[in-house]
Structure formats: C-alpha cells, structure tokens
Structure 1
Amino acid sequence: MELIGHLQLGFAAAAGAQNLLACFTGALLGTLIGVLPGLGPVATIALLLPLTYGLPPLTALIMLAGIYYGAQYGGSTTSILLNLPGEASSVVTCRDGHPLAKQGRAGTALAVAALGSFFAGCVGTLFLAACAPLLMRFALDFGPAEYCSLMLFGLSGAVAIASRSLLKSLAMVVLGLLLGLIGTDANSGVARYTFGLRELDDGVGTTVLAVGVFGFAELLHGLEHACRRTPAMRPCGRLWPDRADTRRAVPAVLRGTALGTLLGLLPGAGALLPAFASYALEKACARDPARFGQGAIEGVAGPESANNAAAQTAFIPMLTLGIPSNAIMALMIGALTLHDIQPGPQVIVHDPVLFWGLVASMWIGNAMLLVLNLPLIGLWVRLLATPYRLLYPAILLFCCLGLYALANRTGDLYLAALFGLLGYLLQKSGCETVPLLLGFVLGPLFEEHLRRALLLARGDASVFLQRPLSLALLLAALALILGA
C-alpha cells in the first residue's frame, strides 16, 4: 500500500503539463539520437546540461532521462536496416537484425525490438520503484574482484557469441583489448601506444571505433557490391511477428529483461554488457545455435530487452547511493548538483516528489516511445528501397557530423576512416567485429579492477577464487567458453 501511495504521488507530479512536455521532448530527442549514428546520448546530455539550469529539478531530470532510455529504442533502427548501430549497445542487434532485414522481415524485427524494449522498460521501472533498497544490497556486494570477474565473464561472452571461428573471435577480443589500452595510463600517467600522437593521449573513443568498424566498413562493403544491386534491401510489408516468431521472441524478452535488470545495477556495465550477455544467453539456450547470425529473432528480442531494462535500473545506484553506474548517470548527478541536490539515500526521504516523479515519468516515457516508434516503422522500412547512390552519401554525412560534434576534432574522422578500412579487411578475412568492440569497451575496465583487486589483496591472485561471487562468475565464464 505504501508503494501505491508513492506511485500516486509520482504520477501526480509527472503528469504536469511542463513535465509531460519534457518527457516527450526527451523521448523524441533520444529516438533521433539513437537513429543517427555517431551522436550518442552522452554528448547530447552534456550539451543540454547547462540549459537545464533554468528548469525545475524534476523537469530537467525527466527530460535527460528520456534522452537516455529513448536512445536505447532508436539505436536498433539503423542496426536492423543498415547494419549501422546508432548506439553502442545496439551493436549486437546488427548480427541478426540486419540479416532479417535482408530477408524482407525488417518490419517484424523493428516491431519485436520496440515491443520488447517497451516491456523491459516497464519491468525495469517497476524494479526501480519496488526493489531499489534490496537490489542495492546486491550491488554493494561487488568489490574489485567481483567486477574483474564480471568483466572477464563479459569478454567470454564476446567469444561465445561468435558464429564463425572461435579462434578468430578470441583474436578479435584481444585486438579490442589492445586498442583499449591506447592513451594515458590512469595509474602512472604514462602515455601508452600513442606513437607520439597527442591526439591519442585521451585514447580512442568508443563511438569513433564503432562508427569506423561498422559504419564506414559497411559503406565500403556496400560500394564493392553496388554494381550488383540497386536497392539497399528488399522492402517489407509485414509488421507483426507470426506465431513462430512470437514463440521464440517472448522467452527471449523475459530472459533479457531479467538479465538487464540485474546487470544495470553494476557500475561500468552500462547497457552494452547486458546486451552482449543476453545474446550469449540466447545462443546458449537455443536448440539450433547455428541460426544466430543468420536472422534469429531471439538475437534481436533478447539484447534489445536487456539494454532497455538496464537503462532503467541504472538509476538505482545513482539515486539511492549517489554512485554513477555509467557516464550518463554521472551527468545526471551533475544535473542534480546544479540544482543544489545531493544524490544519495536522503533524496527519497527529503525529496520524495523528485524520486517518485522521475520513476513515474519512466512509465509515461516508455509509453510515449512505443507510440512514437511503432507508427514510424513503415517510414523506416521505406528507406530500404532507397538507391545506394543516394543512401550512402547521406549515411557518410551523418556519421561525420556525429563524430565531429563529439569533440570538434578532425582527427576523430581520420581515425574512424582508418578503423573503417580495418573493419572492411576484417570482414573480408571472415572475422567478426562485434567481439572487437566488446573487448575494447571492457578491456580498460578489466585492467582497472584487476589492478585494484591485486593491490588490495597485496598481490594474492587467489582472492578471485576465495570470494564466492567472483568464483561463480569465473565458473560461468569458463562454461561460456567450453560451450561455445
């Protein structure tokens, strides 16, 4: 009954005209950001953060939160249609979403992604409302050893999702780890693998690598075969999944929602790790794993549900402990401090309208996103008939604009072009680039927590086996490798 009273308070606050407008604006902006490659929610929220100073705290948070979880919705669109992830967490959606589009089932893939995202977002918000204190105790049990084992589990998942050579997939993870080491070492302050280039002192951006190995590489691959095909893919008239697709997608949505809800609590996991972990789980549960990478609907339903559930529960450590679970949550803390609000347990007690209003707005925002995305599916599918000579220059333009807008550096464009050539050569060699990106993202986190765990244990590596949660994650990682 107490929860119902809190939710009534939250909906009364979120249903105000100004807050509804902010929720719609954030959801719409997030969808557009997710669709446009290169321009992610981190850069957008950072740009809009000063503008929220003149807004009430709840209104500002509602709009910024809408941008975050709205980008998870929109990121699947270009992943499915063009094999070009609008968001890093949508990279894994490319593996089966794009083959579905090539088979003339783009409408079904987009509908499953939207419906799965809506369900997962609603469930994630319910967990945020009902189980925040309980789930935070689970998150607090994670120390450096557990985080290191978790990152190793994620890297093992990258190997496990490979549909081709296991050795090539492992090589891609190692290459991603090496690329992630580029930049200034946080502990010693020494520049590593920069070859004397000052532009690399801050490392390689995730967006730069993702747009290069997926966006630019796909452009090169398409131009190579442009003479043999004029439309991008076959148009698709069917929107709703049939009975067979529903039977496969529903369990995947449920598993992805549960996994994303838990992993969204953990600092550093973001929405990328839940998506990859969900894909690995679906492949492990499938009767015929060979279908994955060829157009399995579970490969879209599971990861899209996982990343949207994680986007909701990522607010739990930020609001209840003041601990950001990713870069976007750090910006949310910045938005709170702009309004003289200290995030932490006292937010729920001293400002319940802010906490419960934000929770209620997430349900409203997810409903808005569903209404926004489902009618637009027909519009997105019509893009499939656009000739390559018109489609590819537009994609290239948006990629370059998005990359330049991140840091106003032309060097990022050159790096992306280099990674595009690398991605093209890897595709020609039969290597998958998805494990490379996951290795790149998780590698620095793995190194950081490995160093911290060994420092606290005074060099005793057995600490990873002595802690039960860490041992369980290591055994799960071993099971993924052996089952691959």
Structure 2
Amino acid sequence: MIIENVLFAFQEVFHWKNLGLMFIGTTAGLIAGSIPGFTITMAVVLTLPFTFGLSPVEGLSTMIGVFVGGLSGGLMSGMLTGIPGTPSSIATTFDGFPMARKGRPGLALGLGVWSSFFGGILSAVLLVTLAPSLAKIGLEFGPWDYFALVLFALTITASLSGETLIKGIIAGLLGLFVASVGEDEVNGVARFTFGSETLESGFDFLPVLIGLFAFSQLLSDVQNTEKARQPLMTGVEAKGIRVEHLAAVRIIFKRWVNLVRSSLIGVFTGVLPAAGGSISNILAYDQAKKASKNSHEFGTGTPDGIIAPEASNNATAGGALITMMALGIPGDVITAVMLGALLIHNVQPSPTFITENPDLAYAIFIAFFLAHFIMIIMQAFCLRAFLLVVRIPMYMLAAVILAYCAIGVFALNNIQEDIWTLFVFGLIGYAMKLLGFPLAPMILGVVLGHVAELNLSRAISLSGTTDQFLLDMVTRPWALFFLVVAAFSVVFPWYQKARERAAWTLGYLPALMVCLAVPMAMMEGWPRTLIAVVLVLGAVYLLLQSARRGWSVSTDDAA
C-alpha cells in the first residue's frame, strides 16, 4: 500500500504541468524573497488564489516551491545590499555582506545557496522519517488534547514575541476574536454581527491574511515619500557577479558539523508553532559563534557565519511541515496559509492527515525534496532578475502588488466585501506595526480560533459539565502535557532575561522536566514510562549540579 501511494505521488509530482508550476513557484519565491519588504508570507499568500483551480498536489507543490525559493532568495539582498530580503535572512547579512564587500560576492552567494540546499535536504529527510511517527501519536488525541495543543501553539507564539510578550498575547486574543465573528458552527448562533448580514458568514481567511501582511507592509514601505521614490538598490552590475559553486561546496563540507548542527536547530525551531526562520537563523548563528574557535572573526565575513543561518532557515521549513502534517497545527504563518489551501480543497488538516490522505502526504514529501533542486537551478537566473527589479522605485512596486492583492481577493468569492475586509485589516495591521504589536500571533489566532472553538465545544459536550471538562483537561495525559508546556512557554521570556542574574532560573529546567514527567508517566507503554524516569533523573542531576556550585549564577554557567 505504501509503495502504491509513493508511486502515485511520484507520478503526480513529476507530471509536466506540476513540474512547470514548481519551477514558476520557486522562481517567484526566489525573486520575492530577495526584495526587502516583499516577505515570503506575502508571496505564498498571493499564490493562494491561483491554487483554487488546481488539484491539491499541484497547489501545495507550487506553494512549497514559493516557500523554499523565498527562504533562499532572501540571501541575495542581504549579501549584496546589506538589507535582508526576509526576516529569515537577517543573520546572513552579518557575514555575507562583509564578505561581498571584500570582493567575494560570488563565494558569499555560493555559500548561502548551497547551505540552504543542504539544510533543506537534511530537514526533508527528517520530515519523511518523523512526520509519520508523530502522526501515529496524533491518533491518540481527543478534543481535550487538541484544544490544549492549540492553546500551546498560541502561548508559544506570544512568548516568542520577545520583549513584546503582553502585546503578543493581545494580538493572539484579537485573532481569536476575529475568528469568532459570525455564526457558531456547532449551534448556529450569530456572534458580534451587530445585525449585519455580511458579518454573519464571518471574515474569510484569505482577505484577512493579505490585509494584515501584504497591505500593511506596503503602507509601511511607502509612508516615507523620499524613500518610496528611491529604488531598493543601485550600483551593482549583474555581469560582475558569478556564483562560486565548487569553492562553496568544498568549504561547506569542511564545516559539516556546523551545517548539521544548524540544520537541527532549524528543524527544532520549525516544529515549534509560529517560531519560524526569523528565530532559527539567529539561534544557529549564535550557536555557531559560541562553538567556533575563532569567534572573533564573526561579523567580518567568515564562512561559518553564512553557513549557519542559511542552513537553519531552510531546515525550518521541514520542521514547520512536520508539525502541519503530523498534528494539523501550522508551524509558522506560511504553513498556516497551506492549511488554508487544504481547507479550500476540502482536505481537513488533523493528526489523521497522513493516514487519511497518504497520496497527498507523500506528494508533499517529494515536492519538498524536488523544490531544493529546482532552487539550485534557478538561483543564477533569479540573480539577474533581482538586479533588475530592485532598480524600480518602491512606489511603483507597491502599486502593482496592491492591485494584484485586490484582484486575488475579489476572485475568491466575487464579492466586494472581501476587498473591504482586505482594506480594513490592512489598516489594522499597519496600526499594530506602528504600536509594536506582532502580527504572527493574530494570524495564528484567526487560523486556530475555529479549531480551538470546535474542539472546545466537543470536549465540553463529551465531558457533560464544565467541572468535568476541567478535570479531564488535567487527567488526560496529552492535554496535561501541552498545558504544562504552554505554562512554561509563557514564563520563558522572563527566564531568558534573568538566567544570568537570578538564582530562581536554576530551577526552571528541572521544574519543567519534573512537570513533563507526570503526563509521560500517565501514558501507556513502557517507553514513555522510561522517558518519565529519565526526565526525573535529569532534573535531579541539574539540581545537584546547582547545589554543588552553591546556587550561584554566572555568565559561564548560563552559557
């Protein structure tokens, strides 16, 4: 049965039409990722309307191509202009731009391109091996567990907002409020419609997403009239840059430990809901610098400073897809859009996705592998296109993109209300940016609000009473597991700030390990009981180590 599904997936992915769409998608992602302000999320969102008339395999393959291409495209702008094309390429500029300024832009681009390729391939291997195993665990989930998982996704989104924790929580709650507008699917009761028939159907996912990300970003880009009239980049000739592929591959193989470590960091970060490449590339860069014997060279154009962030941000895509396919939870905003694409094609994302849609699941695996090879092929061509596009004034680009957004949104349902939704949420997104509110928590609130409400209603109905529901939430192992992780993720920003100063931080990890051991011990099967024992022993070991040092906190200890 597995062989039949794999063969069918190969046939679908390698069909000439699907290959053409993947080439177009990857190329569009490379160009979009290389243009500062034109984020990968915006590119994937703008691709979504074109998938309506495609099959699920064709639509998702195209979006995966845009995803992979966008992650790699951001390095072109970061290295040649010093302006990161995407948030996931911020750390790439730290060493990529200095290396280019020293007269080696071809080597810098080669290191970035091939690090992205190898990082993506390593994460694809983990995607194929880990996603089915996680999917089997997902079959154990009931509505209580799934509701707790959504809570965890929302809390970790807020906690990863850094210093804007409270604003991240507010943004997430605002997204949940937007998702609750309209008729309740379970009971058919209208909420927050204020007598308007238009609001009874709620807000469509796509106009809200495009408004919050695309329209608000365009408003930010053109708010300064002088900056809006200027091109993004001047003074670089395409004929003067040649990517040094062979030299870059040799250097990367000599630093394979950095490559593997950074890729694993990327996969782990991608698995965390809403973390994304903007976090993984900085984490990988930081770990590479700490592990290097020549840490003082970082920031001056060292190869390790390019390999780490580029390997990690492409590996993040594989981690995000693992979470999406195994649990039905978006690993980041881009996979949230892919979930929307699945819903449009009447494919319900859930922990049973891989078992119920094996042909589509294997097609996603194959398409993710293939997209990285297409990215390598198209990178040189897109470099030329990048050097032409970035000479266009920003206000011209903004006008074209905005018109494209409006057409795509109107084509969804052929109603004017969707364009007004785009406009209103674009203003809301722009205001949130000015006030320092992160947009990712709100988007995930909109996406996960429906899932959370549906499973909450089911859980309460099955429990019978509210008291019994609360009891079930702490007596069911997986529900308790995600509640524990959610609680500690909310505290994590304060722990991160105080870990080098306050003694209480020494008990954070041991407390987390002991609390996680409780639900693991409640689960069936000796392997999980063994994991619980290991967690308790690990917590005891950490506490003994802290006691031996006299409960002192130092920079060396924290590192």
Q: Distance in 2 between matches of 1:200 and 1:77?
A: 40
- Gaps of at least 5 residues in structure 1 are 50-59, 83-92, 264-272, 289-295, 319-324, 335-342
How is 1:5-404 mapped onto 2 (pairs within 5 angstroms)? 14=10, 19-31=14-26, 35=32, 37=43, 43-49=49-55, 61=57, 63-74=58-69, 76=71, 95=87, 97=89, 118-119=117-118, 122-123=121-122, 126=125, 134-228=133-227, 230-231=229-230, 233-234=232-233, 251-258=261-268, 260=270, 274-276=273-275, 302=312, 304-311=314-321, 326-329=339-342, 363-373=369-379, 375-380=381-386, 382-404=388-410
Structure 2 CA distance for partners of 1:274 and 1:211, relative to 1, 3 Å: same
Q: Which moved more, 1:401-410 or 1:298-307?
A: 298-307
Name which of structure 1's ranges 462-471 and 303-312 shifts more when overlaid on structure 2: 303-312
Asked if the contact 1:172–1:432 (Cα under 8 Å) also holds between the matched residues in 2, the reply is yes
Aligned-pair CA distance for 1:156: 0.9
Deviations 1:70-106 (A, max 9, x none): 2322555898999xxxxxxxxxx95454797899969
1:412, distance to aligned residue in structure 2 (A): 1.3
Greater relative contact order (Cα < 8 A, sep 6+): 1
Contact kept? 1:153, 1:474, Cα under 8 Å: yes
State the partner residue of 1:452: 458
**For the Cα contact (< 8 Å) 1:14–1:357, is it kept in 2?**
yes
Shift of 1:388: 2.1
Matching residue's letter, 2:216: A
Q: Whose Rg is larger?
A: 2
| Cα contact 1:149–1:474 (8 A) shared by 2 | yes
Shift of 1:175: 1.2
Q: Which moved more, 1:95-104 or 1:204-213?
A: 95-104
CA shift in 2, pair 1:41/1:311, >3 Å = farther
Instruction: Answer yes or no: is the 8 Å Cα contact 1:79–1:94 preserved in 2.
Output: yes
Does 417-426 or 232-241 show the bigger shift?
A: 232-241
Task: Report the Cα distance in structure 2 between the residues aligned to 1:188 and 1:358, rounded to whole angstroms.
Answer: 35
Q: TM-score, normalised by structure 1?
A: 0.68
Paired amino acid for 2:473: F
TM-fit CA distance, 1:258:
4.9
Aligned position for 1:408: 414
Shift of 1:185: 0.8
TM (normalized to structure 2)? 0.60
Once residues 223 and 376 of structure 2 are traced to their aligned partners in structure 1, the CA distance between those partners, rounded to angstroms, is: 37
Distance 1:469 1:372 in 2: 44
**1:213 Cα offset (Å):** 2.2
Taking the aligned partners of 2:391 and 2:175, their CA distance within structure 1 comes to 35
In the other structure, the counterpart of 1:88 is none
Residues 135 and 69 of structure 1: is their aligned pair in 2 closer, same or farther, counting only changes over 3 Å?
A: same
AA aligned to 1:175 is L
Most deviating of 386-395 and 297-306:
297-306
Q: How has the CA–CA distance of structure 1 residues 395 and 164 changed in structure 2, closer, same or farther, with 3 Å as cutoff?
A: farther
Q: Determine the C-alpha separation between the residues in 2 that align with 1:220 and 1:230.
A: 14
- 1:28/1:133 CA distance change after superposition, 3 Å: closer
Deviations 1:345-386 (A, max 9, x none): 7998xx9xx997886565344422442356424533553332
Whichever residue aligns with residue 440 of structure 1, its letter is: V
Question: Structure 1: how far apart are the matches of 2:327 and 2:419?
Answer: 35
Counterpart of 1:422 (choices 417, 422, 428) is 428
Give the secondary-structure state (helix, strand or coil) at the position aligned to 1:196. coil
Q: Deviation at 1:415?
A: 1.5
* Aligned match of 1:338: none
Q: CA deviation at 1:207?
A: 2.5
Q: Which deviations, in whole Å up to 9, do the C-alpha atoms of 1:157-179 show, x marking residues without a partner? A: 22112144322222111111111
**CA-to-partner distance for each residue in 1:163-205, whole Å, 9 max, x for gaps?**
4432222211111111111122101112222233333333223
Does the 8 Å CA contact 1:124/1:312 hold for their aligned counterparts? no
Label 1:164 to 1:129 Cα distance change in 2 as closer, same or farther (>3 A).
closer
Relative distance call for 1:210 and 1:199 in structure 2 (3 A) is: same
- RMSD of Structure 2 on Structure 1 (CA): 4.9
Q: How far 1:275 moved relative to its partner?
A: 4.4
Distance 1:37 1:386 in 2: 18
- Structure 1 counterpart of 2:485, from 470, 473, 476: 476
Shift, 1:482, TM fit: 0.5
Q: Deviations over 1:299-341 (max 9, x none)?
A: 88656533345447866799xxxxxx9454466777xxxxxxx
> How many angstroms apart in 1 are the aligned matches of 2:45 and 2:354?
30
Give 1:337's aligned residue: none
CA spacing shift, 1:117–1:281, aligned 2, 3 Å: closer
User: 2:535 corresponds to which residue?
Assistant: none
Which structure 2 segments of 5+ residues have no match? Answer: 33-41, 78-84, 288-304, 329-337, 348-352, 494-559
Amino acid at match of 2:438: E
Q: Is the CA contact (8 Å cut-off) linking 1:284 and 1:483 kept in structure 2? A: no
2:137 aligned counterpart, secondary structure: helix
Hey, what's the Cα distance between the residues in 1 that align with 2:144 and 2:370?
A: 38
Cα distance change of structure 1 residues 387 and 412 upon mapping to structure 2, 3 Å threshold: same
Equivalent residues of 1:104, 1:233 under 8 A apart: no
Cα distance in 1 for partners of 2:259, 2:424 equals 37
Q: For residues 111 and 399 of structure 1, what CA distance do their matches in structure 2 show?
A: 33
> Within 2, Cα distance between the matches of 1:472 and 1:317?
15
* Partner Cα separation in structure 1 for residue 108 and residue 449 of structure 2: 31
- In the other structure, the counterpart of 2:502 is none
Q: 1:70 to 1:473 in 2, by over 3 A?
A: same
Structure 1 residue 255: Cα displacement: 3.1
Distance in 1 between the 2:367 and 2:418 partners?
A: 36
Are residues 1:442 and 2:448 paired?
Answer: yes
Letter in 2 for 1:222: D
